[in-house]
Amino acid sequence: MARTEDISFDPPIAGGIVVGHDGSTAAHAAMRWAVEEGRVRGQVVHVVRAWVLSGVIRDMGGVSAGVPSFDEAAVWVEEQLHEALATCQPEGVEVHTHVIHEASTDVILTAAATADMVVLGNRGRGGFAGAIIGSVAENVVRHAPCTVVVVRSRT
């Protein structure tokens, strides 16, 4: 577990809506919801993508596709996030992206400490396919000091 004082956001999160994104369909639904909510409320949206190398290797096709360097993985994560965000039509909404190499729960809870709301998809990329809510979402719901919205994916 990371020490929260080691996790920082640029620009800093001071209110607004934080949405966690891991590249999953559920996370994309959450991002669309958060962008629209930001538009309605007139609030800034912080899209947070936490990642670890092992997860990115899996997302890039596994070790059979070749193991990327740390820098290659970081660029890939950033590109994937910006491609996903572009499909959410964020025009008229101030959106900041934060890509942080750290465990998802730690990063989201650190962001939640100064946010008005956190938005997450109901399921992430790993774990039990029949689960109603993913482990990151469950931990954030239990420990976040602000409102948490869990958006259910339609798929």
- Per-residue pLDDT tens for 2-48? 445 567 888 789 999 999 999 889 999 999 999 999 999 999 999 99
CB-based contact 55:80 (threshold 8 Å): no
Provide the pLDDT confidence category of residue 94 given band limits of 50, 70 and 90. Answer: very high
Q: What is the mean pLDDT of residues 61-83?
A: 82
Poorest-pLDDT segment among 59-63, 94-98, 142-146: 59-63
Asked whether the predicted pLDDT for residue 112 surpasses 80, the reply is yes
DSSP states along the chain: ---GGG---SSPP-SSEEEE--SSHHHHHHHHHHHHHHHHHT--EEEEEEE-HHHHHHHTT-GGG-PPPHHHHHHHHHHHHHHHHHTT--TTS-EEEEEEES-HHHHHHHHHTT-SEEEEES--SSS-TT-SS-HHHHHHHHH-SSEEEEEPP--
- pLDDT score at 41: 96
Closest by CA position to 96, among listed 26, 30, 32, 35: 35
The span from the CA of 7 to the CA of 9, in Å, is 7
Rg (CA), the chain: 15
- pLDDT score at 52: 86
Provide the pLDDT confidence category of residue 1 given band limits of 50, 70 and 90. Answer: very low
CB-based contact 105:120 (threshold 8 Å): no
Give the pLDDT confidence of 113-131 residue by residue, as tens digits: 999 999 999 876 555 554 5
What the chain holds in terms of domains, given with CATH numbers, is 14-151 (3.40.50.620)
